[in-house]
Structure 1
Amino acid sequence: MRNTRPARPSRRAKPAHSSAREGGSAPAGCVWLFGTHAVSAALCNPRRVFQRLLLTDQESAILQGADVKHRPEPELVARSVLDELLGPDAVHQGVAALVKTLPDLSLAEAVERPGPVLVLDQVTDPRNVGAILRSAAAFGAACLVVQDRNAPEETAVLAKAASGALEVVPVVREVNISRAIEALQKANFWTIGLDAGGGLLEGASLTGRRVALVLGAEGKGLRRLVRESCDEIAGLYMPGDMESLNVSVAAAVGLYELVRERAPSAYHNAATKKPI
């Protein structure tokens, strides 16, 4: 019999300007986004300020449904231009946009939104942070809190991994994670460090509470002071042979555990219906 172990989250386009062919990074305060999901979501976000929109197809589907006032005049470019501009490994799908980084949002403003909060303690991989944002959007999280000096900046890679969620879930940058946890506690959040050494995370027991899940970096886990700042430490039910999960997977499973008891009865009925 296997043991139960808590998981450790261990219209027509105009020609492009010559500057597009020069490649290089985005100017200060701006970021290149690429890929249909990331750019489409940005076009639907009134908080985004566009500098340029580059397409390889003048009939691109991302133009459909976008606010004309919000949308810049697209520039038609060859695919090789985007390859040179973004790098050979960028899966840009023929779409790129130069945008200003999103304006900062305070923690007090962000938690006015409904849903749980995710706090990351020095998770530095932009792909992991992007994947966590995607899960946060899927499960209705209020915001994502990161440490300002030990978290990736808003980048094309992060936005691509987030698949549009960067436009939906606010990212709050805090100097001190322990103090951010304290601020959440004062705002009546129950803070749970997702790590080994505690009980099991049980969403049913948290019904009626606002919860903040705190996750640590790959390998290191939660730092001692951050761990001690949490109201409790809990893990995920893992009956298999692996003792830990990638932090982005742990975040998704933890969020699901928090929200599944709140799922509409119609969803429960559909999910438990046996096939004929």
Structure 2
Amino acid sequence: MAGNSQRRGAVRKDGTKKGQVKGSGGERRKSLEGKGPTPRADQRPGHPKQRAAAARDRAQKSREKRSEGPEIIAGRNPVVESLRADVPATALYVALNIDADDRVSEAVQRAGDKGISILEIPREELDRKTGRAMHQGLGLQVPPFDYAHPDELLSASADSGEPPLLVALDGVTDPRNLGAVIRSAAAFGAQGVLLPGRRSAGMTAVAWRTSAGTAAKLPVAIATNLTRQLKAWAAEGLMIVGLDADGTVDIDKLGLATGPLVIVVGSEGRGLSRLVRETCDATVSIPMSAGVESLNASVAAGVLLAEVARRRRVAGRV
């Protein structure tokens, strides 16, 4: 009989047993059992709300990663300027046996008035704390920067009572340029600055110093994906304008300036990335004299922000 052969070497193969197999091994009962309540939308893999929640978690982790420890602003002028600008600080380090001048006296006086701890330490220790920067005997410790969420920038623009004006940086890696852009953004009425989660400068001591304290007054957020965030803002009605040397619109003809606007500033070398450029509704250029190829990223951003502010003032008087 097939399957019961007594021939030497005969082997029964799986699934060849004939006849009724008793029971279902519990499979029938399992198939009838419920799977429990339907998970919330933000817990269902692939659901838009779940993806949005995951993006917020990644942004939070990115903010925490960028805020691992305090920064030290080094140098007599930078320290005094930061204290004048009310940059939040937790300690003022003064090197032992320092040659005091007016800047040192002012720094100590302002720190004392603000309730900031004043600590005298050996010069060698201050060298170590500042990464051997040119500290001139003074160092100001600032806490880790508290980054905002991109949604908070839109909320800040809504609360301002003015048409939204936001600035996004695409690959700007020099902290001095970052600080300068933040300073210009605050000066010309922008409500926030957006940084990408990768390949971007963060709010270091250098950026704090260059911003002249305006980073304490203007929200700076991190986007997990810059292109996706720009598209989300476009869906909210904001126009996306990229600053580019080969822009299709001259700055003198930027009619979008008076409406809800996001200005995107490219990196110091390669400018706007391809995906960001494709997301922009328009790219704008700044005319320059012959023989000059381009402007520094922060200078170009300041020029465009000043023009947007001028057009909005004129529109407000009409």
Q: Deviations over 1:179-237 (max 9, x none)?
A: 11112213322110111141112476235412111111122111111101111111112
Which residue type is aligned with residue 171 of structure 2? Answer: Q
Q: Secondary structure at 1:213's aligned position in 2?
A: strand
Aligned to 2:81: 37
Q: TM-score, normalised by structure 2?
A: 0.63
Q: Secondary structure at 1:96's aligned position in 2?
A: strand
Aligned to 2:198: 149
1:224 and 2:239 correspond: no
Which residue type is aligned with residue 53 of structure 1? Answer: L
Which residue type is aligned with residue 173 of structure 1? Answer: I
Query: Shift of the alpha carbon at 1:79?
Result: 6.4
Aligned to 1:16: none
The 3 A distance-change label for structure 1 pair 250 and 207 is closer
Higher relative contact order (CA 8 A, sep 6+): 1
CA distance in 1, matches of 2:249, 2:281: 12
CA distance in 1, matches of 2:259, 2:109: 41
Aligned to 1:53: 92
CA distance in 2, matches of 1:155, 1:182: 28
Query: Shift of the alpha carbon at 1:166?
Result: 2.1
On the 8 A contact 1:55/1:76 being kept in 2, the answer is yes
Aligned to 2:264: 214
On the 8 A contact 1:40/1:62 being kept in 2, the answer is no
Write out the 4+ residue segments of structure 1 that deviate beyond 6 Å after TM superposition. Answer: none
**Greater strand share, 1 or 2?**
1
Which residue type is aligned with residue 38 of structure 1? Answer: S
Aligned to 1:268: none
The 3 A distance-change label for structure 1 pair 136 and 227 is same
The 3 A distance-change label for structure 1 pair 158 and 210 is same
Aligned to 1:169: 218
Aligned to 1:85: 129
CA distance in 2, matches of 1:66, 1:208: 44
Structure 2 stretches lacking a partner, 5+ long? 1-66
Query: Shift of the alpha carbon at 1:162?
Result: 2.0
Q: Secondary structure at 1:237's aligned position in 2?
A: coil
The 3 A distance-change label for structure 1 pair 66 and 254 is farther
Query: Shift of the alpha carbon at 1:78?
Result: 6.6
Query: Shift of the alpha carbon at 1:264?
Result: 7.7
Query: Shift of the alpha carbon at 1:247?
Result: 0.8
Q: Deviations over 1:49-89 (max 9, x none)?
A: x5422246674257449874xx3332245767544532444
CA distance in 2, matches of 1:66, 1:105: 30
- Computed over aligned residues only, the root mean square deviation of the Cα atoms, in angstroms, reads 3.0
On the 8 A contact 2:72/2:129 being kept in 1, the answer is no
CA distance in 1, matches of 2:239, 2:94: 46
**Greater helix share, 1 or 2?**
2
Which residue type is aligned with residue 37 of structure 1? Answer: E
Q: Secondary structure at 2:172's aligned position in 1?
A: coil
Q: Secondary structure at 1:238's aligned position in 2?
A: coil
CA distance in 2, matches of 1:53, 1:208: 43
Structure 1 stretches lacking a partner, 5+ long? 1-26, 266-276
Aligned to 1:101: 144
Query: Shift of the alpha carbon at 1:93?
Result: 6.0
